[in-house]
Amino acid sequence: MAFLEVRDLAKSFPSPAGVRHVLEGVSLDVDQGEFVSIVGSMGSGKSTLLSLLAGLTAPDAGTVVLDGKPVTGVRNDAAFVFQNYSLLPWFSALENVRLGVRAAFPAASAAEQRTRATEALERVGLGNALDRKPRHLSGGMRQRVSLARAFATEPRVLFLDEPFGALDALTRDALQQDLAQLCAERERPVTTVMITNSVEEAILLSDRIVPIVTGPPSSLGTPIVVDLARPRTLAQLAHDEQATHARAHVVAALTASLQRRGRSSGSGSIPALSTATEPVKASGQA
């Protein structure tokens, strides 16, 4: 039995054009300690899927079982990193991390919580920025604080929602390496589900990549195993045969699902349900 078992999830939202079925028939198994990336384009329901897995929102149908227990709310051994930093601007980096530590280790003394938070920030190279407020930190540094906050709680499950999506390319590379290292340094393995729109990022970090079959309603395609030794670097992946193979597979899966969608939109079967980003494509086909 897998550590994280997802069976037949469905989720829809009311919209002005009627009910919008975002996800349907989503099933996924993630083993303990595995790093799985879910790759899809904007508006494909990725973030919705992640909030269902994490218990932030409840599904309309289907089940999520984590470590043998059904997920009904946010678990106390799970941690999150969002795209938009989600740091509180009135707190320093240290206080932001401490807020997470305090919630995860309520029994620990104040000094112990402080030490934990400080160490977490030192691990991401922010030992000299403990007292800086988020607005005095660069985008990359802010997202490092978010990583530190997530890892400081020593989570067993990590949910990453496009964690580096808002960063420039160079910072993104650096943060990806930081994340890989944080995962590798953990004493007990952390099970990670990451949402991303970057195939490269997925190949660099994951054990397995699951492409989204873009709807609506979206579902998941066949997983692609990335069996590459770690640590990986982008430079090395550019020429690696396995990586090229994985890349081709993921891109093919994503393109196929988008084209299918384009055709069905063009034929008028789901005219009003396209998201704001896609109608251009749909009308181009028609």
Q: Does 72 bind other proteins (CB under 8 A)?
A: no
Q: Looking at beta carbons only, is 74 or 238 nearer to other proteins?
A: 74
**Residue 56 engages other proteins in binding (rule: CB under 8 A):** yes
> Which residue shows structure tokens 């004493």?
187
100 binds other proteins per the rule CB under 8 A: yes
> Minimum distance from CB of 110 to other proteins (Å)?
14
- For residue 99, state whether it binds other proteins (rule: CB under 8 A): yes
Binder among 61, 88, 225, 286 for other proteins (CB under 8 A): 88
By CB under 8 A, is residue 82 in contact with other proteins?
yes
Which residues is 195 bridged to in the sheet?
A: 38, 161
Binding residue (CB under 8 A) for other proteins from 23, 49, 54, 254? 54
Shortest gap between Cβ of 167 and other proteins (angstroms)? Answer: 16
Judged by DSSP in three states, 120 sits in: helix
Query: Which of 128, 186, 200 is closest to 152 using CA atoms?
Result: 186
Q: Give the interface segment with other proteins, choosing from 96-104, 135-143, 199-207, 222-230 (CB under 8 A).
A: 96-104
- Residue 64 class from Cβ within 10 Å (0-12 exposed, 13-18 middle, 19+ buried)? buried
The span from the CA of 85 to the CA of 104, in Å, is 19
Q: CB–CB of 160/205 below 8 Å?
A: no
Rg (CA), the chain: 20
Identify the burial level of 187 via C-beta atoms within 10 angstroms of its C-beta, where 0-12 means exposed, 13-18 middle and 19 or more buried.
exposed
> Does 108 help bind other proteins (rule: CB under 8 A)?
no
Residue 164 in the binding site for other proteins (CB under 8 A): no
- Kindly write down the DSSP assignment for every residue of 35-60, as one continuous string: EEEEE--TTSSHHHHHHHHHTSS--S
Interaction between residue 134 and other proteins (CB under 8 A):
no
Smallest distance from the beta carbon of 174 to other proteins, in angstroms?
23
Q: Which of 79, 141, 246, 253 binds other proteins (CB under 8 A)?
A: 79
Strand, helix or coil for residue 191: strand
Among candidate residues 46, 48, 56, the one with its CA nearest the CA of residue 11: 48
Residue 80 binds other proteins, judged by CB under 8 A = yes
**Does residue 78 belong to the site contacting other proteins (CB under 8 A)?**
yes
* Nearest to other proteins of 135, 188 (CB atom): 135
Coil/strand/helix, residue 172 = helix
Asked if 90 interacts with other proteins (CB under 8 A), we say yes
- Contact call for residue 86 and other proteins (CB under 8 A): yes
Q: How far is the CB of 86 from other proteins (least distance, A)?
A: 5
Interface positions with other proteins (CB under 8 A): 54, 56, 74, 76, 78-80, 82, 84-88, 90-91, 99-100, 102-103
